[in-house]
Amino acid sequence: MLDLSKYQSIGAALKDALDRFANEVCLIEADREREKERLTYRDFQQRAHPLAKALQDAGFAAADRASIIMTNQSKWLISAYAIFFAGGVLVPLDYKLSPDEQWQLLKHSGAQVLITEYPIWRQLSMAPGRAAAANVRTIVVTEAPANADLTGAQRWEDFRSIGEPDFVPRARTDVACIVYSSGTGGRPKGCMMTHENYLEQCVALTSLYPFWPGVRYLSILPTNHAIDFMVGFFGPFTCGAAVVHLRTLRPEYVREAFSKYKITYVSLVPLVLKNLQKGLQARFNELPSGKRKVLNALIAVNKALTKSRPRLSLSRRLLKQVHEPFGGALRTIIVGGAFTEPQTLQFFYDLGIPVANGYGLTEAGTAITVNDLKPFRADTVGKPLPGMEVRILNPGADGIGEVSVRSKTIMSGYLNEPALTSEAIVDGWLMTGDLGRLDDTGHLQLFGRKKNMIVTEEGKNIYPEDIESVFEGLPVKEFCVFAANFIWPRRSMLGEQLVLALHLETGQSLTEELRRDISTRNSKLLNYKRIHGVVLFDEDFPRTASLKIKRNALAEQLAKLDREAAFLPL
């Protein structure tokens, strides 16, 4: 691994990595059963430099911003490297957002360059939001069909210049990326992450979960997400490891990839991990009772022998039939993006497949705590990573309070939002809004949230204010969306739901017609953003002088209602 303490920027570290590991494989891209591409670090450099040069020829300079909206593929990483090489600031956006949401964030970020895929550009180019984002001057589109009308965009494959690009150095304190943690409805929260944030996070994570040449990481989580950016790009690249991209995420091809490419690490969201668990459990249940008993006995032996630490070789020998479908080289499943149920973690650990669960926020530069497996503790989210100071603010008698964190990985602030920044970072400590407790061994346990938001099992952060616009015009006196646990706090990270608080007109009732109207509007939201129920409130919502709803005060009033009786499922 490169000694990252010597580097000032992501670009400088990656530049050296490409030279140092020139002959190692860095990227494999497959589409279903077909391998489309296999690049060494030298190949990667040869693809990226003409792009960096073309960006520079187009006037892209130090601190200029360029956005990538792409599914996971080699061109994502090549484009990102070219942006860093040219001294730019990367704005990675979620390809699953709607085109108008993407334009909104492109405008907010001030991106001058957009690099995207043709199917995404097809939607983006027709969206009304395009007109407002005049700041995006250069648009580069990958994989466009030969006869496609690119409406002002250029082909990625042709966007290349001859000659060596100039490497543009950046300082550790300069912004490397603007990563949106939320805010497509109200105030976008663009986390300004510095080069130091990433360099320090990479050192901390790889101290627990190292990469080296020959390691293969299966990249499934979107690369715009902080986790995949770190463990599916920057981490493996600074260690000479390889990243495997799949162009389709159908379960059968994902399963096949484990054995075909001898995957070492993979990151998953809890939903996918639970699905894997279900599949394995179903397989076990189908075994004849004799074989089932043998398997259970072997699992019990493995469990006893791995109590204090994982013993991969031993587990692979003991439970060969379980490990073989995973390719036999899998060292750890990294799970993140949302809270994972302890029983799921324990299920895999008992099979000899350690799951590195952790806890983090985009604002904190990926991970704050990670389970170090020494020993494995399914009931916690692990210990703070090296360099992270975690403290619990105003703990109650049970030791539970708000988790706050201080480290070199904390963002420098929210873009254009000094007030929001000073609420989030107080005296250098990031207020996470999550409730937790540190136990005697220094492991962090989580117990719900203080903040008005939910995180789905797919790792999606949903803020109520971001989805309210879909209910505008609803024929009621007033409405407001909340995380149900924000109104009625529960000491749990599971089963989080959104609820629509309604104040009906005098004499109005929640008729079938109104329910249908709510459901129709709700179905316009992406499935994971939808509200789960309604709560009726028959008083005027408290408002500020400028007539904005005082959410905290309203939540306090709603909390007086009995949750079970008041929550009307849709």
Partner 1 sequence: MRTLEQTTQEVLDLASQHFNVPAGSLAPEDDFFKKLGIDSLQTLEMLSRLENHFGIELPDYEVQGVSDFRTLASRIQSRL
Residues forming contacts to partner 1 in the complex (CB under 8 A) are 32, 71, 95-96, 98, 117, 119-120, 247-252, 271-272, 275, 458, 523, 526-528, 530
**Shortest Å, Cβ 253 to partner 1:** 9
Looking at the Cβ atoms of 285 and 527, the one nearer to partner 1 is 527
Phi first, then psi: what are they for 214, rounded to 5°?
Answer: 105, -25
Looking at the Cβ atoms of 314 and 514, the one nearer to partner 1 is 514
**Shortest Å, Cβ 247 to partner 1:** 7
Looking at the Cβ atoms of 289 and 527, the one nearer to partner 1 is 527
The three-state secondary structure class of 254 is helix
What number of other Cβ atoms are within 10 A of residue 558's Cβ?
22
Looking at the Cβ atoms of 248 and 508, the one nearer to partner 1 is 248
Phi first, then psi: what are they for 462, rounded to 5°?
Answer: -120, 120
Which string of DSSP letters, residue by residue, matches 450-509? SSS-EE-TT--EE-HHHHGGGGTT-SSSEEEEEEHHHHS--S-SSS--EEEEEEPPTT--
Looking at the Cβ atoms of 164 and 252, the one nearer to partner 1 is 252
Residue 302 near residue 369 (C-beta atoms within 8 A): no
Looking at the Cβ atoms of 191 and 272, the one nearer to partner 1 is 272
**Shortest Å, Cβ 117 to partner 1:** 7
Question: CA 368, CA 570: separation in Å to the nearest integer?
Answer: 36
List 333's β-bridge partners, or say none: 266, 355
**Shortest Å, Cβ 256 to partner 1:** 12
**Shortest Å, Cβ 530 to partner 1:** 8
Looking at the Cβ atoms of 286 and 538, the one nearer to partner 1 is 286
What residues contact 461, with CB distance under 8 A and at least 6 apart? 181, 182, 453, 454, 455
Question: CA 177, CA 89: separation in Å to the nearest integer?
Answer: 5
Pairing of strands 175-182, 461-462: unpaired
Looking at the Cβ atoms of 458 and 468, the one nearer to partner 1 is 458
List 29's β-bridge partners, or say none: 37, 245
**Shortest Å, Cβ 99 to partner 1:** 9
Looking at the Cβ atoms of 119 and 214, the one nearer to partner 1 is 119
Where helices occur in 4-117 by DSSP H, the ranges are: 10-20, 41-57, 74-85, 99-109
Residue 554 near residue 501 (C-beta atoms within 8 A): yes
**Shortest Å, Cβ 272 to partner 1:** 6
Looking at the Cβ atoms of 71 and 432, the one nearer to partner 1 is 71
**Shortest Å, Cβ 560 to partner 1:** 31
Retrieve residue 405's tokens. 């964190």
In terms of Cα–Cα distance, which of 131, 115, 35, 109 is closest to 81?
A: 115
* 388: region left, alpha or beta (phi > 0 left; psi from -120 to 50 alpha): beta
**Shortest Å, Cβ 344 to partner 1:** 15
Residues in the chain: 570
**Shortest Å, Cβ 561 to partner 1:** 26
